[in-house]
Amino acid sequence: MQPPVTGWRCAVCGAHTPIGHALSWRCPNATEADRRHAPQIVQEMAPLRSSGAANPFLAFRRYLAWDAFAEALGMSVDQRDAQVTELDSLVAGVAGTGFHTTPFERADALSDALGFHADGGVWVKDETGQVAGSHKARHLFGILLHVVTAERAGLAPWSRPADRPPLAIASCGNAAFAASTLAAALQWPIRVFVPPTANPAVLERLHHLGADVVHCPRLATDPPGDPCVHRFREAVAAGALPFSVQGTENAWCLDGGRTIGWEMARHMEEAIEGPPFDRLFVQVGDGAFAACVAAGFRMSGITPRLHAVQTNACAPLERAWELLPSVGGARSAAQHWADCMWPWEHVGNTAADGILDDETFDWLPVVQAMHEGHGRPVVAHEQHVLQANELAVEHTSINPSHTGTAGFAGLLAARESIGADERVAVVFSGIRR
C-alpha cells in the first residue's frame, strides 16, 4: 500500500482541507479580495511504483489525490479502476485516443547538434500525441475525475447531469482545446474565455467541440491582469466550475499533472543506464506544469536542477526570483507574495505565445522546487525560441509548437554554462496546429 494523499494545505496561510471534502479547489480562507492562497497536496514520500498500465491514471492511481478522495467516499479499488476506464473511453471517443504513457527518450541527433558527449545529452518527453495534443489534458482529467465522483456520490450542488453548471476556463490555446475536448466527451457545457486576438483556427476548433466562446476585451473598469482571467473569475463567482490549469483557481489540476513527472522518473530508473538527470528545463506560463513535473520527480526521490523557462516578452517568475533575497529567500516567498509576484506590465510578443501569462499564479511550488534542487529561472530571447523549434523539427520526428519547445529554448539560452557530459531533460509539451 502506498501512502495516500491526506488532504490539502495552503502554502500561504496553512489552512488544511481533508481529502474527503468535495469540490475543494480553493483554500477555504481565499476570498475575492484576497486570492493569494495556494493549496498544495499533502502526501508522504514513498517509493514510486507503476502498475504497468498504459494509462497513467491507472498506472499511478494509488498516488493520486482523486483516488484518495474516492476511497474516502467508500469506492472500492475495482470501482475506481472502472471509473477511470469509463471516462477515458468517453475521452477517446472524441479525441481519437485515451490517456497513455508518452515517449521519453534520448534525442541522439539533437544531442549531437548541441555538442553533448555520449554520456550526456538531451532526453525529450513527447506530449504531442497525448489527448488533445498536449500535456494540458492530464491536469484537467484529474479535475474531471474528482467532479464526476462528487456528482455520483450526491455531493455536488446539482442532482443530475442535465443540471450541471458550465465548466469555465480562460485560455485561447492548448488548455482551451483540452478542456473543450474533455467537456465534449462528457457532454458537459463549457465556457471558454479568450482574448480578442485569439487565433481564428483555434476558435473554429472550439466551436466544433461545442464550446461557448466568450471574447474578452479589456474594460475600462478592469484592474491590472488578464481580462480573460477576470471574466473567468466572474463566471465562477456566478456558479460555473473552474476547469482551469491554474492551481490557484482549481488545486485539483495539480493532481493529474504529476503523472508526467512520474512517467519520466520511472522511465529513468527502469530504462536509462547511468546517473540521473542533472537538469530539467520546463516552460512556464501559469506555473502549474513546472510545479507538477517537479512534484512528480520529487515523489521518486529525484531532484534534478529545475530551470523554469520564460521569454523576455513576459517573465514575472524571473523577476520574483530576483526579489526573493530581499524578503528572506524562497522559504519566505509565501509570506511576501505581493512583494514578489504581480502581473507583468507590458506583455510583448513571442512565437511561444502559450506561456505569455502575465502572472505566474503557481509560482510558490516552482520557486521552492528550484531552491531545493539548486536551480533557477532562465529567460529565453526570441532567437532562442525560434531556434529551439527549428532544431526540434530538424533533428527529431516530433512536430511541436513553439510553446511546446519553449523549455528547450531555455536550454539553448543556458547552453554555455552546461557541461557536455550533463544529462538534460525537456518536454515537448504541445503539437503544432
C-alpha cell at 73: 467516499
Give long-range contacts, CB 8 A cutoff, 24+ apart: 387-390.
Answer: 387/412, 388/412, 389/351
The 3-state DSSP composition of the chain as helix, strand, coil percent (nearest 5) reads 45, 15, 40
Residue 399: per-residue pLDDT: 97
Cα 111 from Cα 118, distance rounded (Å): 9
CB contact burial 227-254 (16+ within 10 A = b; e otherwise): bbbbbbbebbeeebbbbbbbbbbbbbbb
Closest to 282 (Cα-Cα) out of 150, 385, 165, 410: 410
Minimal CA–CA distance to 10: which of 311, 335, 236, 318?
A: 335
Distance between CA atoms of residues 295 and 53, nearest Å: 21
Give the per-residue pLDDT at 331: 92
**pLDDT score, position 37:** 96
Q: What is the pLDDT of residue 3?
A: 58
Confidence at residue 364, expressed as pLDDT on a 0 to 100 scale: 97
Nearest to 65 by CA among 134, 130, 2: 2
pLDDT of residue 300: 78
Give Cα 19 distance to the centre of its chain.
Answer: 21
DSSP label at residue 121: E
Task: Give the three cell numbers for residue 422.
Answer: 550533463
Q: What pLDDT is stored for residue 1 in this prediction?
A: 54
Helix crossing, 136-152 with 77-95: angle to 10°?
Answer: 130
Residue spans of the chain under pLDDT 70:
1-3
Q: How many alpha carbons lie under 13 Å from residue 71 in its C-beta half-sphere?
A: 18
Domains of the chain listed by start with CATH number: 7-96+136-254 (3.40.50.1100), 104-134+257-428 (3.40.50.1100)
pTM beyond 0.85, yes or no: yes
